[in-house]
Structure 1
Amino acid sequence: MVKEDPATLVLVEKRGKTTIITINRPHKRNCVNGPTARALYQAFLDFDADSTAAVAILTGAGGNFCAGADLAAILNQDEANPMSSEWPDTLPGPIGPMGPSRMVLSKPVIAAISGYAVAGGIELALWCDIRIVDPTATLGVFCRLRGVPLIDGGTVRLPQVVGRGVAMDLMLTGRAVKAQEALKIQLATCFPPSYETVNETPALQQALALAESLWEHPQTCMRNDRLSTHFANPIREAMIKEYELGIETLTSGEFQEGITKFFNKNKEKARM
């Protein structure tokens, strides 16, 4: 087992007016446990309060964005993800199971997606305003295969981004979506903008160029137009219902069988 330093679960770097927030659990494909969720939440609180920061980029270390919630943490009370139905009306909002997914920030956030952005990882990506992919990216509702529910905005935001029909396909099948298809269904894009051809440049490098271009806009106008878009699609009540249904799924115990099979399969692979 890799011993983790709580202070390095999430890395924060400033480049000009851009804040890069990196999930730093590469040995877990950047799966998010409770301590990581809390560190992510705090990082975005700090970003939103930082008057020198204009844009944030969310990414992952070691070649993956985020492979979802840490399944091992679900069964460990000390490391479990934050779970609460409380949702105060004040902004920027409460912590969610994946950390910032229930926040409404005053400034834009870009997801720089290399490797896996699946399960809770796709929920984090959907929370961001723009999703940038490179050829290594794979997105999907992989938690479908383990009996673990989408519980942090996935069932609400995915239909808003790609439409209900495509969202149902992805949510019910749990299939993988590679970068080229992500562009086609407008789940993600590249920079310079493209829904046709995947940019070979690493996603973080593309996102940095996009962030710098956003600096050039009159900030009050851009931020207020962005906030208006968020408030035009209120999701609070829908996400509360998603959470209630998710808890019902978790308390059914069905997911435990899926998780057990997942860990047993990994143990078999490790022995080979």
Structure 2
Amino acid sequence: MLYLPPPIGRLADYSPPPHSDDIQVVFPREHVMILAFNRPKSLNAMTPTMTEDIKRILDWFDEEPSLWVVILTGQGRLFCAGADLVAWNQRASTGQADSEEELLKGVDGFGSISRRSSSPKPIIAAVNGSAYGGGVEMVLNCDIVIASEEAVFALPEVKRGVTALQGGMPRLARIAGHQLASEMLLLGRTISAQEAATRFGFVNKVVPKNQVLATALEWAREINQNSPDSVQSTKRALILANQKASLEDAVAAHVTSKESRRAQSGENMKEGLTAFVERRKPIWKNPAKL
């Protein structure tokens, strides 16, 4: 099992929304939340209950000014095996398969993560073990991915007669390019963490399995040394770059975004410039609620 660091001091006082035991929520460092998938015996296969829990927790996280970064990880051998295919088969056999309307209505996508674009806060995937199907779709929508050297990744939907409909295909095509994306998607091929980093380009760093969470926490710490206003405005720009057809449209939408307006008028910009002139480290404040 993955060891989750205990909360430190007042961090234990956070009160996230109620959720099932299928996920774990921990606050190991100032401004950092860990959300762990906790169905290790089922390889963290995603269920509707988990999806609802994750949405509820991440919506709360987005509204909590003192939390700046979230780390996603999994308990047990795998990060996430994708959808619970046993439950999916039961729904399909009774005519209850997800309709087009239901798929589109779930705007945040698989696990409430794969198409999530509302949050301006950084999401780090600490991929402790392999990821398949929807698990990969979630990874592809994270801002930073730290993967175990033992992890493998696959979008094997074509082997099961289903399709990766939750945002993974267009995102992989944009990251890796048409031909490499086709290699994973049309063949259902499994790739190593090293390939995901060097050929396909969606893993930032590959480390030994026992260093995955520690590395993610260190990267979170580095992010949190920067102005949270600036970080959140910057992430909004990255999201808009994928959503807008042209550079000028992306720039215009970013300049007028709530995050950029807050950054331009907030105290953290003044603090950052003053600290630079005074040759000291800035002391950042929690961003104002949007």
TM-score (norm 2): 0.70
Q: 2:115: which partner in 1? A: 102
Is contact 2:110–2:137 with CA below 8 Å preserved after alignment?
A: no
Alignment partner, residue 144 of structure 1: 158
Which whole-Å CA distance do the structure 1 matches of 2:49 and 2:58 have between them?
Answer: 14
Residue 197 of structure 2 is aligned to residue 189 of structure 1: no
The 8 Å contact of residues 146 and 207 in structure 2, kept in 1 or not, is answered as: no
Distance, in Å, in 1 between the alignment partners of 2:104 and 2:133 is: 22
1:1-272 equivalences in 2 (<5 Å): 7-15=20-28, 16-77=30-91, 84-87=102-105, 94-104=107-117, 105-185=119-199, 186-190=201-205, 198-200=206-208, 201-234=210-243
Q: In the TM superposition, what whole-angstrom CA distance separates every residue of 1:147-203 from its partner, at most 9, and x where no partner exists?
A: 12101101111112222221111111111111221121222022xxxxxxx422532
Q: Is the 8 A contact 1:117 1:138 kept in 2?
A: yes
Q: 1:141 to 1:52 in 2, by over 3 A?
A: same
- Give how far 1:134 is off: 1.5
CA distance change for structure 1 residues 226 and 165 in 2, over 3 Å: closer, same or farther? same
Distance 1:165 1:13 in 2: 40
Aligned length: 218
**Partner SS, residue 112 of structure 2:** coil
Structure 1 gaps of 5+ residues are 1-5, 88-92, 191-197, 236-272
What whole-Å deviation, never above 9, does each CA across 1:65-84 have from its counterpart, x for those lacking one?
A: 10101011214459987972
SS of the residue corresponding to residue 98 of structure 1 reads helix
- Higher-Rg structure is 2
Which letter does structure 1 place at the counterpart of 2:158? R
The normalised TM-score by structure 1 is: 0.74
Q: Percent sequence identity over matched residues?
A: 30
Q: Is the 8 A contact 2:45 2:84 kept in 1?
A: yes
Distance 1:229 1:99 in 2: 19
> Does the 8 A contact of 2:114 with 2:139 survive in 1?
no
Superposition RMSD on alpha carbons, in Å?
A: 2.3
Aligned 8 A contact 1:33 1:81 in 2: no
How far the C-alpha of 1:86 sits from its partner, in A, is: 4.3
